[in-house]
Amino acid sequence: MDAKTQQGRVQRFLKTHINSPYFFSNGKTQIAVDFRVCPLMKKVNGLYKSPVCKACYSKNILTVYPTVRKKIENLPKQTAESLAEFEKDCAQLKEKFGWDKIRFYALSDFGPEDIPFIHAARKYFTVDIISKSLVFTQNEKYLVSLFNLENVWISLSFNEHNKSHMSKIKEILQVYMPKNVQLNYMMSYPEEDPTWPEFNDIQVFHFRNNNKRSFCEKIGLHESRVCGIFDINGKPVEGHGHCSSCNNCHESYIGQKDSNILLDSVACV
């Protein structure tokens, strides 16, 4: 089954069986969870812009698809009742589709009130959290609370506009040593090059370029460090990939550092 056909099945199921408004279907992850318009965006003359994410996928979606924009702009506040409804629907989705993973934040980003929903979802799925907001100082205690939770992976997102936060995040990770957190970076090649030393600690790169496999081979970047390299059936793809057959976001920063320490030790013998 191709991604478009599967997305159609998911959309129909959401409309006919799912009551929680926080689920969204998309072509990359099958389904994602969002609770609000991204706090890193602002509306200017009726259109969303994101100073921190110039090439923001979400702002483009909200511009092109008014139905999606209207839904996310009018999402209700989270309550104990909506949490119970959300968990019930997680169980339904798991039973219907049997997914291993679910993504938090495709169109938006983290808020403290999302923590109970993450705990609810991880009872049924491996929760992949992709977030820029969690790198900010005001969210540090919430980030720490998610460290080493079973069935939770956190990919902290950076780009040229927010990479100043990376050194502080690395310090936090070295203190707490979580095995479920990685760093990802959005870049355009060759304006930025993943082989530059400043990017040695990045686990996964999200490229704005197509033909990812071609230039990975050209510059010697292993495909395990690249987002979107398989289609929904696990076959290699040059353009836009799918998350269902890829676990590149499950490589931890601390795990990589541990491996480097081990390699350094062996080299010194």
H/E element holding 264?
A: helix 253-268
pLDDT score of 260: 52
Q: Is residue 230 part of a domain?
A: yes
pLDDT score of 137: 95
User: Could you say which residues of the chain have pLDDT below 50?
Assistant: 261-269
Summarize pLDDT for 207-244 with one digit per residue, the tens: 887 788 888 888 899 999 999 889 988 898 887 889 98
With b meaning 16 or more CB within 10 Å and e meaning fewer, what string describes 135-147? bbeebeebbeebb
Q: How far apart, in whole angstroms, are the C-alpha atoms of residue 76 and residue 71?
A: 10
Q: Is residue 153 part of a domain?
A: no
CA distances from 267 to 48, 261, 262, 263, 264 (A): 51, 10, 9, 6, 5
Evaluate whether 230 touches 241 at the Cβ level (below 8 Å): yes
pLDDT score of 1: 76
Any residues with CB less than 8 A from the CB of 24 and at least 6 apart, and which?
A: 31, 32, 33, 34, 68, 71, 72, 106, 107
pLDDT score of 261: 39
Q: Is residue 35 part of a domain?
A: no
Q: Is residue 43 part of a domain?
A: no
pLDDT score of 263: 35
Evaluate whether 90 touches 123 at the Cβ level (below 8 Å): yes
pLDDT score of 257: 62
Hey, what are 138's tokens?
């005001």
Q: How far apart, in whole angstroms, are the C-alpha atoms of residue 29 and residue 171?
A: 31
State the total domains in the chain. Answer: 1
pLDDT score of 110: 97
Q: Is residue 31 part of a domain?
A: no
How many H helices and E strands in the chain?
9, 9
pLDDT score of 190: 87
Hey, what are 27's tokens?
């072509």
Q: Is residue 242 part of a domain?
A: yes
pLDDT score of 52: 85
Q: Is residue 59 part of a domain?
A: no
Hey, what are 197's tokens?
């030393």
- Closest by CA position to 30, among listed 57, 59, 8: 8
The domain of 184 spans 158-269
Q: What is the pTM of this model?
A: 0.92
Summarize pLDDT for 65-92 with one digit per residue, the tens: 999 999 999 999 999 999 999 999 999 9
Q: Strand 47-49 vs strand 42-44: parallel, antiparallel, or unpaired? A: antiparallel
Q: Is residue 97 part of a domain?
A: no
What is the number of other CB atoms lying within 10 angstroms of the CB of residue 245? Answer: 13
